[in-house]
Amino acid sequence: MPIAKPPVGSSSWIVERHRIYAPCVEQTLQAEGSIEHHALLFALMSPTTRYIKLHPHAVFIESRGNSYTTDMVRAFSKTAICCNEFKQSTDAEKPKNVAKYKQITSEFEEANTAFSVVTERQLNAICLYANAKILCRYFHQKPPSKNDKMMVLDIAKRHGPMFMLSLIRLAQRKKIQYASQIVWFLLAHQQLDADLAQVLTSRSRIWLNKESGDRYAF
């Protein structure tokens, strides 16, 4: 029986892995690396996501003469499907990779499937990785009562943009229990908004979200 050779040198490639439960498919998914985990958090919080699969079966790319496996497949409906490759921006911008992804995109489009390369730069411009990890945790918590939720949203509407801590304290004065958790829950569910490309703190500006688009689209 062949014996595998031990790794040469000390530079072994260790992949950071993250396991997270995905309600839309009722199973735990394992993301490999921070960019894939970052994107998975977005997909789980997006109201348009109907199905997610990581590392699906390989497909044959005729123009390249070899097989290719995407990192993620997302379905938004029975006919709207998007496949994603996750890369560091420095790798995605290399000429050989730009040409490769152009060929892959063309063949996926012929099969009525969208394809895109997603980088950490794109994701962080929408919402920092650190923020996404916190928001996803609150996103899946038990929803607050409708009355408490509406009271917090009313405060945000009447007072306009304010520090997160100020919003929490105003809610507490209204005898709203767990005001901090409710504010985070509403941020995660896109009913409150903030500059998520900056680290969220108690002094982050918070306001009522009046936009109809999906914050977590990528």
Contact 54, 39 (CB under 8 A): no
Domain ranges, ordered by start, for the chain: 17-126, 129-208
Full-model pTM? 0.86
CATH code for residues 129-208:
1.10.10
pLDDT one-digit tens code per residue, 141-174? 999 999 999 999 999 999 999 999 999 999 999 9
For the ranges 9-13, 39-43, 134-138, 211-215, the lowest mean pLDDT is seen at 9-13
By DSSP bridging, strand 81-87 and strand 114-119 are: parallel
Over residues 8-63, the pLDDT tens digits come to 444 444 568 999 999 989 999 999 999 999 999 999 999 999 999 999 989 899 98
The b-or-e profile of 27-38 (16+ CB within 10 A means b, else e) is eebebebbbbbb
Fold topology of 17-126: Trna Endonuclease; Chain: A, domain 1 (3.40.1350)
Least confident of 13-22, 75-84, 145-154, 185-194: 13-22
pLDDT value, residue 8: 45
